Chains A and B, each alone.
Chain A
Amino acid sequence: MKRIIQHITIYVLTAIPLVTLAQTDKAYDMNINGVKVIVQPSGNEIVVIQTIIKGGVQNYSADKAGIESLAINALTECGTLKDDKNSFKDKLDKISARVNGGTGMDFAGFTLNCIKRDFETAWPLYTDAMLSPRFDEKEFNRMRQDAINIIRAGESNPDNAIRKMARQTAFAGRNYAKDPEGTVEIVTKLTAAETKKYWESVFTRSRMVIIVVSELDKSMIEGKVKEFLAKVPAGTAFKLKEETYSPEANTFKPKERENATNYIQGITGAPLPGTADYNAFVLAMRIFSMRHFIEIRTKNGLSYAPGSRFSEGKTPYANFSVSTTEPDKYIAVARNLIDKVKKEGFTAEELKNEKTGYLTGIYYRQETNEEQANALATNEVVHNNWKRSVDIKNDINKVTLEQANSAFKKYIGYVTWVYQGDPKKVDGKLYTQKTTPPIPAEKKAF
């Protein structure tokens, strides 16, 4: 069960992970054949290599959503020119190497995770998958049916279902409305030939970043990557677009779903990467997240899983989520809380503590090579600056209370709300009305 759930988890950018260096040597980068190769020595025997293809949902039109995901899966599921699918997988199994990939809103990643002593066996398999994928018709058809089943399994999961609906509603007509996994309707029609053609169009050095987290020798990395990149087309220059999100009114969209409770999600604005407000907003949303938790769960017992977070990316947004038996009371408590924070701001103590917790989080995510690779990749794609993942400790310490309060006030405005459950059990007006609703009397939805 765990593996299928992991399997169906969609690549979503949430908080940008960050690393700082407590151990080992410093990270460095190299330019090899026009591609930035970022290397973080790891101090352990695990090798993680990620090949990043920039673009994500900007790489395809809405009617082809799912094609990048299918292409990335085909690299390991349809064999290579040297190995059919089973031969390829069996060779990886023999050394328990993991080669897999996924795609999200801003980029796709294709990852190798192996033990250092197996690297010489794993590397050719990893690069063959990208350089000479077979896109075998029979295997492709099997894999496409699996992709459809996985999309359906994802829709069965209530958290996935509400998350998807929230994005599609908030970003209707924009790139972020596209679901990287696609829909059953779209994926059903995709063919091996067009998916292969698509892969060839995005697998270029111009869209690529390579991340290496391992104890492999610098000269060895340089040699292997150089040999690999010599076989990758240059492609045309590519730059990811940034978009702001700022809804002009509160909206509420309900959908009937036979859940055992009510699922609600809201999306509002956030600062663009590189702006002066960015780090202040990161901290502001983390402090707010705890306030939201205390108000919704601790003080009012309204939900097991109240969430609020800054979803970082090329179209950044803030997000509120909850599953609750009392959707009307939730919105009243949440909106009153937002008003209070806007009016009174956070405290100096909260900011100080948040900075301490942030540092713990940085080290916590530095514990594995894959987490470090994710941090480097995400910062390079979203901020054009992998070093941000290393320098962030100092930058975050510079944020003042005034900046955090000001960022929260500036970006938390109107909210696009969506709901799944029994629409009769929720009063949508409380979500959309301009004035903040008073906290209603006790009312059980179920």
Chain B
Amino acid sequence: MMKINDHIPLKELFAIRGMAQVVTVTFGLVVLCIIFGILNPNFFSGENTLNLLRQIAPILLIGISQSYVLITGNIDLSIGSVVGMSTMIASTLMSKGGVNPWIALLITMAACLTVGAANGLLVAKCKLPPFIATLGTMTIARGIAQLANNNYNTDSIGKILGDEAVQGFRDFFYYGSFLGIYNTIWIALVLWIAFNFLLGRTRTGRHIYAVGSNVEAARLSGVSVTATTVKAFLVSAFCSCVVGFILCAQAGMGAMDAGNTYELYAVAAAVIGGVSTLGGQGLLIGTVIGASIWGVLQNGLQFANVAVAWRNIIIGSIVIVSVLLDVIVRTGAKSKKVMK
């Protein structure tokens, strides 16, 4: 078995890694867009395109978070809580402490990365099941979010600093635009390019895939499983933290339940895009499509005046179908190999 695996040509390997599903869901996305465009021509207006992309941006970022962790064969349930923690710490520092926004963001980032590192160490070093480890940090991080401002949502972040002083921060993450495109979209794009490069073109990226495909094989070939896993969880915490900044800039205050259940949106965006929950497989371009499908459904179904309940049913069905595809492809590939 092992030997056959080793001889699969590189080209075929890439094909298995999920390109097929990316192509399929891209087609699905196009179909959805066309349907929504027919139902309501405003869907394709320039204004809505920008608006839609701005809504997709945070989903894409948490999607990147979850994709990295899923590819290592783990899951990160703490994403939503880290988003909430990020929002609450940043806005408490500004609204109560009068801390300069950019310094507040640095402190917040340090706190969030600590959670990421803890996740990685608990899973890789202490051998806790990722579901349990991140369930724990999820609860702790939400508790920290609540504790940050003493169990209240914060006041306006400009309360001490003045509204003008925080406007720069709010524009940078949400309200401003560059070359006619909202900054939120640029942020997501830049981070996506960076993390796509890290995953696809560097040694760290190859290690992440290796750990997800077969932990033992990776360990035997000299990959540091602990370091790789920690790195993946750090990327996850980093992106979640940035989403927290975006929510903070958007609302101009911190809400304790911000980011609630985002970890599940992130799983949905990742698996719709072909990232395997079994590890070792997935492309970040797929995550873009997954996040877009999520965003397009949110936006398009509102335009088509469909009740929230239907949106949930449709999204749920799409998630199941996507994973079903993954399972079918994997079992198909396995039986083929055996036949050879």
Partners in one complex: no
Interface residues of A, Cβ cutoff 8 Å to B: none
